[in-house]
Structure 1
Amino acid sequence: MNGYVLWAFAVGPALIAEALLARYEVLAYGARWRAPVTELPDGVPYARGAAPDSPPDAYLVYLDGIGKRRVRDSRDGGQLVAALLARAPELRLLGQVQPYSPLADPLAERPVWAWLRRRVGLVLFLHNVMQIFVAADRRYRPLYNRAVGRQIATQLRLAGYRSDSGIPVALLSYSGGAQVATGAVEELHSQLRAPLLLITLGGFHNGANDLTHAAHLHRLTSASDRIERLGTWIFPQRWPLLRGSGWNRAHRAGKVTVHRLDPATHVGPRSYISRTAQVPDGRSHVDRTADTVVALIRAHHCGAEAATGTS
C-alpha cells in the first residue's frame, strides 16, 4: 500500500501539471508565441512512395494514434505504412504529421519529456490522450483544427502537393487520430482545395467536426473494438438524437460507409495492425487492413477520374 502511495505522490504532480498544460500548445499557437515546426530531421523525407517528379494517383497522410511521439515512430514500428507502400507504389505517403501537437513539435524530442519518459512513461501516454480532449473541446476545437490542418497542408506542399491540382488527399487515421483528421477537413479545403477522403481505423472522435468538404468517410471498425465503441457512447454528437452534429449530417448525406474488420481489437495481439493474428483467408490483420485501405483509395481515385473524364 505504501508503494502505491509513494507512486501517487511521485506521479500525481506530473499528472496535474499535464492537465494544466494540455491547452498550452494550442494557446501558444493562437497567440503566435511560437512558430510551428516545418522542417524534418536530417534523413527523413517529406513523403515516401511515388517519385516527386510526376503526379501520384493520390497523397496519403497517416495520422497515428496516441502512441505517436516522434516524426519517425508509430505504434507498430511502421509495419502498416510499409504494407501500404508495398501495395500501392503509386501513392505518396506522409507519416510525419504530429496529430497531438498544434505546434508540430515531436513530444519525444523535447528535453523535459525525454526526462519524463525515462522515469514516468505513463505521462507521455496521457499527454496525447489529453490532447484529444483538448481538440474535442468546443472552446479550443476551432483553433486546434486550424493548427493541425495547416500543419498537414504545409507538409503536403513540402511533399510536392499543388493547390487546385485535383489530386485526391486521403487522411488515414488510427484511434484518436480521427479527431484530428475530421477537424482538419475545413482548413485543408481552404488551403489546398483538394478532394478529401477520410478513412478512420478504430476512430475515436467526438463527431462535432463539419465534414461538408470531405468527399467521403470510410469507417473501419470491429465489434471487438471497445475503445472505438466507447467514443460512440461518451460523445453526444455521435448519438443519432443530435441530428445537427457534423457526424449525423454526414450520415444523412450518405458520406459515411462502415466496413467491418471483425474480429480485430483496438490494441493488442489481435489488433487491426497485428502481424500474427489471421483472418480465415490466411491474411494477417495488418495485411487485411492495408488491402482494405488501398482498395478504398483506388476506388476513390477511379471515381474521381470518371467524374472529371480523365484517364
Structure 2
Amino acid sequence: MLRLFSQMLAWLRSSTWNLVLLAGFLVLLWGMLAPVGTLVWWLNQSSESLGFKRQQRLPERNPPKTTAHSINCYVVFLTGVGDYSVDQLTPGEEFFLDRLEQLRPNCVTVRDVFPYSAANKDLAGDRFLAPLWDAAEHAEGWLKEADVLIKIRNLWRFAISADDRYGKVYNQGIADAIVDRMNAAHPISTAEPLQVILIGTSGGAQVALGAVPFLEDWLNARLIVISAGGAFDGEAGFAEAEAVYHLQGKRDWVEDIPRILFPSRWSWTVGSPINRARREGRYRTQISGPHTHDGPEGYFGTATEPSSQMAYVELTLEQVNQLPFWSSQSDNSHQD
C-alpha cells in the first residue's frame, strides 16, 4: 500500500496535468452526488429555519437605536469559486467593503455568507471530505495546484444553484443564511423599507440572483444585484430584482462563457427573464475597466492600473459608487 501511494505521488509530481486529470475524475465522481448533500441538508432543517412559515414579511419591530447614521441598507458580498470559507476575503475585497461603508454610512456590510454551502459552512466544517478540502487549501509547493479541487467543487455548487431540479432548495438555504447574517450584522427593522444590495463575483453572482425571489418574499426591501464579472444563467432573480448591474472587465474572458453556455442569455431568446429585464431597463451592463477575471488585476485586485495609477479594486469601487440606484440620477451605462 505504501509503495502504491509513493508511486501515485511520483505520478502526480511528474505533471500538473496529471494532478488536474485526477482532480477532474474525483470531483466529477463527487459532483454526481453533490445534490444529495443539499437534499439531505434540506430534509434535516425544520420548516421554520427554511422560511416555509414565513408567509408574511418579517414581523414589525422598533428600529434599533444608533449613535450615528440610521442603518437602512445592507450590502451582502458573495465571493468567487476559489474561496474556502465564510471569512476568506482577500485584502482587496476587505478594502472594497470598508470603503463602501465609509462612502455609504447608512449601509452595513455582510461578509460572512459562503455562497457554496446551503448550510453556510466552511469546506473544513463537519464534512466527509473536509480533510481533502483542507489539504487542497493549505498545500504548498507543487501540491499548491491541488486548489483546483476547491474551484471545481464550488463550480458544482454554482451548477446546483442554476439547476431547475435542485436550485430552489439550494437558493432558499442561501437566502435564509443571508437574512440570518444580515440580522447578525445589524438587527433588521421593518419600520421602513430597506435597501439590500447583493454583490457577487464569479459564481457568487448566480447564487445572489438565486436568493432574490426568497428575499423578495421575506423582506420589505428594494433588491439590487451587482455582478462584478459574475457568471449567471439569466433565469432566477431577474423578475424580482429592482435592478441588476453587470460590471465587465475588458480583459475578462471568463465572464463571456456563460453568455455562450446558457440559452437564456442569448439575445434571440426574447422571452427569457434576463432579456425581459433588459428591455425594461432593469438589467444593464457597463465596462468596469481593464480588469481580468481575478488575481492582482481582477475586480478586487490591489495591483496598480498603469493609466489611472489607481488600484484595480479602486476602479471597481468607483464604478459601484456611481451606479444610479444610489440616487435618482439617470443611468448612462450601455446595454449588453
Of 150, 153, 158, 1:132 maps to: 158
CA apart distance, 1:194: 0.9
Structure 2 CA distance for partners of 1:37 and 1:267, relative to 1, 3 Å:
farther
Matches within 5 A, 1:1-311: 2=11, 3=14, 7=19, 11=23, 14-32=26-44, 53-54=65-66, 55-76=70-91, 78-110=94-126, 112-116=128-132, 117-118=134-135, 120-158=146-184, 159-163=186-190, 165-278=192-305, 280-296=307-323, 299-303=324-328
- SS across alignment from 1:248: helix
- SS across alignment from 1:221: strand
Unaligned runs of 5+ in 1: 39-51, 305-311
Moved more, 76-85 or 231-240: 76-85
| In structure 1, C-alpha distance between the alignment counterparts of 2:175 and 2:241, rounded to whole Å | 13
Structure 2 CA distance for partners of 1:140 and 1:189, relative to 1, 3 Å:
same
| In structure 1, C-alpha distance between the alignment counterparts of 2:292 and 2:100, rounded to whole Å | 20
Equivalences, count: 290
Contact 2:83 2:150 in 1 (8 A): no
In the alignment, residue 149 of structure 1 is paired with which amino acid? A
CA apart distance, 1:24: 2.6
Moved more, 111-120 or 145-154: 111-120
CA apart distance, 1:126: 1.4
CA apart distance, 1:275: 1.4
User: Deviating runs (4+, > 6 A) in structure 1?
Assistant: 34-38
Contact 2:79 2:204 in 1 (8 A): yes
CA apart distance, 1:20: 2.8
Q: TM-score, normalised by structure 2?
A: 0.77
| In structure 2, C-alpha distance between the alignment counterparts of 1:10 and 1:256, rounded to whole Å | 40
Residues 246-281 of structure 1 show CA distances to partners (whole Å, capped at 9, x for unaligned) of 111111111012121231110133211121131633
Moved more, 4-13 or 274-283: 4-13
Looking at CA atoms only, which structure, 1 or 2, has the larger radius of gyration?
2
Unaligned runs of 5+ in 2: 1-9, 51-63, 137-145, 330-336
CA apart distance, 1:86: 4.0
| In structure 2, C-alpha distance between the alignment counterparts of 1:9 and 1:183, rounded to whole Å | 31
Contact 2:246 2:284 in 1 (8 A): yes
Structure 2 CA distance for partners of 1:133 and 1:76, relative to 1, 3 Å:
farther
In the alignment, residue 53 of structure 1 is paired with which amino acid? K
In the alignment, residue 107 of structure 1 is paired with which amino acid? L
Contact 2:249 2:288 in 1 (8 A): yes
Structure 2 CA distance for partners of 1:11 and 1:225, relative to 1, 3 Å:
closer
In the alignment, residue 99 of structure 1 is paired with which amino acid? P
Residues 106-141 of structure 1 show CA distances to partners (whole Å, capped at 9, x for unaligned) of 213346544213254332221111110111111112
| In structure 1, C-alpha distance between the alignment counterparts of 2:32 and 2:252, rounded to whole Å | 30
Q: TM-score, normalised by structure 1?
A: 0.82
Contact 1:217 1:255 in 2 (8 A): yes
Contact 1:36 1:104 in 2 (8 A): no
In the alignment, residue 14 of structure 1 is paired with which amino acid? L
Structure 2 CA distance for partners of 1:280 and 1:69, relative to 1, 3 Å:
same
